[in-house]
């Protein structure tokens, strides 16, 4: 009977440990659940926000390319976005619902993802539609890592609080436990290692506790050493994770900078695109309106370029376009702005240059292009091309005082060069006097 009673007895040690563990486990479990729920909601919310911002920025960036049906530029932009990471699928639809460009990550089907859809608008008009899917695999991995970290912290907190409460209750409720506390004085070094056994011998629960503690001393020291090793490992992993996060941030900033360059640059020739060209012209046209500073525009269109593509292939055509772009960069001033308007049409904006100076530059370019040689793909033949150039200058008398008016005037002059036999330069001012019926200019738009 005494042995059976001792076996089923709930002593002070059992009661204190049972109550403390029950309260701590319940409180920390609830707290951990609430914390993880808030973290998960915040992370997913931030993911939705960043994904929405990326979709909005991408939709704005490709608006001009969609309007211009520049499939090549749109495809390059989508490839860059997917290669940068995070985005696993992107597709651009025209306003008629036709797919203009599409790219997806090879492992898209195996990845958790969220979808974003944005209209592509230009000047308040919807010109297309963007579909984008963002991978949330990194987010899920981050949440899993945070759960593991939270469990470790809960274990540490439970151990610390249980130890603290146990010592407190011992002092308040169980006076005889002071013998154990005195025996424990100066028995643990700065690393938490128990140096020696508790020298307490009695037949009560205090004696049992001391005896059991002495038996567990070696085990506790081993556990303490392992715990310190895990803490050091966790600290090292945290530093490494922080360094990776900084590196990813730098990569994202670099990708954003590259994307900004792509939105303002023609990917084939390296010249500025129409958007960058229009912005540069607007600044100088404002100076013309304020101070009367001269400026001129050249519209250049390669002659019979479609026949070259049909005969020699698009690769040869691309080499001709690159050679022509390099020629423009070489023979134009550093202050001039060059761009590829689309296809085989280019433009040069000549700052502080009047009509005679622009005509001289245009003739020099025409002659240089006529002398240019581009080898075929097999290198056996040299191809020659010519260019038709239209010239227009800002003028109050002719009503050319805005970027739209200047482009329209130069464009009409270029088409006049085409009609007159190609490989020539036509000045809009001369065209008005020589062939006024061919000019369709209904006033400038400001």
DSSP per residue, 212-224: HHHHHHHHHHHHH
344 annotated active-site: yes
Lowest mean pLDDT among 109-113, 267-271, 385-389: 109-113
Residue 161 has pLDDT above 50, yes or no: yes
Maximum mean pLDDT: which of 47-61, 191-205, 229-243, 404-418? 404-418
Q: What is the pLDDT of residue 236?
A: 85
Q: What is the pLDDT of residue 260?
A: 58
Residue 175 has pLDDT above 60, yes or no: no
Q: What are phi and psi of 216, to 5 degrees?
A: -90, -5
Contact criterion met (CB below 8 Å) for 82 and 90: yes
Residue 346 has pLDDT above 90, yes or no: yes
The whole-number average pLDDT for the span 154-182 is: 64
The CA distance from 223 to 339, in Å, is 70
The CA distance from 130 to 117, in Å, is 6
Q: How are the residues of the chain apportioned to helix, strand and coil, as percentages rounded to the nearest 5?
A: 60, 15, 20
Residue 311 has pLDDT above 60, yes or no: yes
Q: What is the pLDDT of residue 443?
A: 47
The CA distance from 164 to 419, in Å, is 96
Round the CA-based radius of gyration of the chain to a whole number and report it: 39
Name, in order, each residue with C-beta under 8 angstroms of 79's C-beta and a sequence gap of 6 or more. Answer: 103
pTM of the model: 0.45
The CA distance from 23 to 29, in Å, is 10
DSSP track, 278-325:
HHHHHHHHHHHHHH---EEEEEEEETTHHHHHHHH-HHHHHHHHHHHH
DSSP track, 131-194:
EEEEE-HHHHHHHHHHHHHHHHHHHHHHHHHHHHHHHHHHHHT-GGGHHHHHHHTT-B-TTS-B
Domain ranges of the chain: 274-438
- Strand-pair partners of 99: 93
Residue 206 has pLDDT above 60, yes or no: yes
Q: In the Cβ-directed half-sphere of 69, how many Cα atoms lie within 13 Å?
A: 4
CATH domain 274-438 topology: Alpha-Beta Plaits (3.30.70)
Q: What is the pLDDT of residue 81?
A: 83
- Strand-pair partners of 89: 104, 133
The CA distance from 302 to 328, in Å, is 13
**pLDDT tier at 176 (50, 70, 90 boundaries)?**
low
The CA distance from 105 to 92, in Å, is 16
**pLDDT tier at 34 (50, 70, 90 boundaries)?**
confident
Give the helix/strand (H/E) hosting 371.
helix 355-371
- Strand-pair partners of 298: 348, 391
The CA distance from 14 to 367, in Å, is 101
Residue 255 has pLDDT above 70, yes or no: no
Name, in order, each residue with C-beta under 8 angstroms of 3's C-beta and a sequence gap of 6 or more. Answer: none
Mean pLDDT in the chain?
Answer: 81
Q: What is the pLDDT of residue 445?
A: 45
- Strand-pair partners of 194: 188
Which one of the listed residues 144, 344, 377, 398 is annotated catalytic?
344
Query: What are the tens digits of pLDDT across the range 385-415?
Result: 999 999 999 888 787 888 888 999 999 999 9
Residue 446 has pLDDT above 50, yes or no: no
pLDDT: which is higher, 241 or 93:
93
Contact criterion met (CB below 8 Å) for 89 and 103: yes
Contact criterion met (CB below 8 Å) for 443 and 399: yes
Q: What are phi and psi of 98, to 5 degrees?
A: -85, 140
- Beta strands 99-104 and 87-94: pairing type? antiparallel
Residues in the chain: 446
pLDDT: which is higher, 241 or 21:
241
């Amino acid at each position: 009977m005494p042995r059976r009673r001792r076996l089923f007895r709930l002593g002070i040690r059992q009661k204190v440990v049972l109550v403390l563990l029950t309260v701590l486990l319940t409180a920390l479990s609830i707290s951990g659940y609430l914390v993880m729920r808030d973290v998960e909601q915040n992370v997913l919310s931030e993911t939705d926000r960043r994904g929405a911002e990326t979709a909005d920025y991408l939709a704005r960036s490709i608006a001009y390319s969609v309007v211009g049906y520049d499939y090549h530029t749109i495809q390059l932009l989508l490839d860059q976005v997917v290669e940068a990471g995070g985005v696993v699928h992107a597709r651009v639809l025209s306003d008629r619902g036709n797919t203009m460009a599409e790219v997806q990550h090879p492992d898209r089907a195996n990845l958790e993802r969220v979808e974003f859809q944005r209209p592509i608008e230009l000047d308040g008009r919807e010109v297309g539609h963007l579909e984008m899917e963002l991978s949330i695999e990194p987010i899920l991995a981050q949440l899993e890592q945070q759960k593991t970290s939270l469990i470790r912290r809960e274990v540490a907190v439970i151990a610390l609080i249980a130890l603290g409460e146990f010592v407190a209750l011992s002092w308040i409720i169980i006076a005889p436990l002071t013998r154990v506390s005195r025996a424990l004085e100066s028995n643990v070094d700065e690393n938490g290692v128990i140096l020696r056994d508790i020298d307490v011998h009695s037949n009560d629960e205090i004696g049992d506790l001391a005896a059991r503690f002495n038996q567990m001393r070696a085990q506790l020291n081993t556990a303490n050493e392992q715990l310190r090793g895990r803490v050091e490992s966790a600290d090292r992993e945290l530093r490494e994770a922080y360094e990776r996060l900084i590196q990813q941030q730098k990569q994202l900033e670099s990708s954003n900078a590259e994307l900004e360059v792509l939105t303002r640059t023609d990917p084939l020739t390296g010249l500025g695109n129409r958007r960058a060209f229009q912005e540069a012209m607007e600044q100088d046209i404002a100076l013309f309106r304020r101070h009367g500073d001269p400026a001129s525009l050249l519209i250049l269109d390669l002659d019979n370029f479609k026949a070259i593509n049909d005969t020699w292939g698009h690769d040869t055509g691309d080499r001709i376009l690159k050679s022509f772009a390099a020629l423009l960069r070489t023979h134009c001033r550093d202050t001039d702005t060059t761009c590829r308007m689309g296809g085989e049409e280019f433009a040069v904006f000549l700052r502080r240059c009047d009509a005679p100076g622009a005509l001289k530059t245009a003739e020099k370019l025409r002659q240089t292009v006529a002398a240019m040689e581009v080898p075929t793909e097999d290198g056996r033949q040299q191809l020659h091309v010519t260019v038709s150039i239209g010239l227009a200058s800002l003028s109050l008398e002719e009503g050319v005082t805005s970027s739209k008016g200047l482009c329209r005037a130069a464009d009409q002059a270029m088409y006049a060069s085409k009609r007159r036999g190609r490989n020539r330069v036509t000045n809009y001012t001369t065209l008005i006097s020589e062939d006024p019926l061919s000019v369709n200019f209904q006033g400038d738009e400001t």
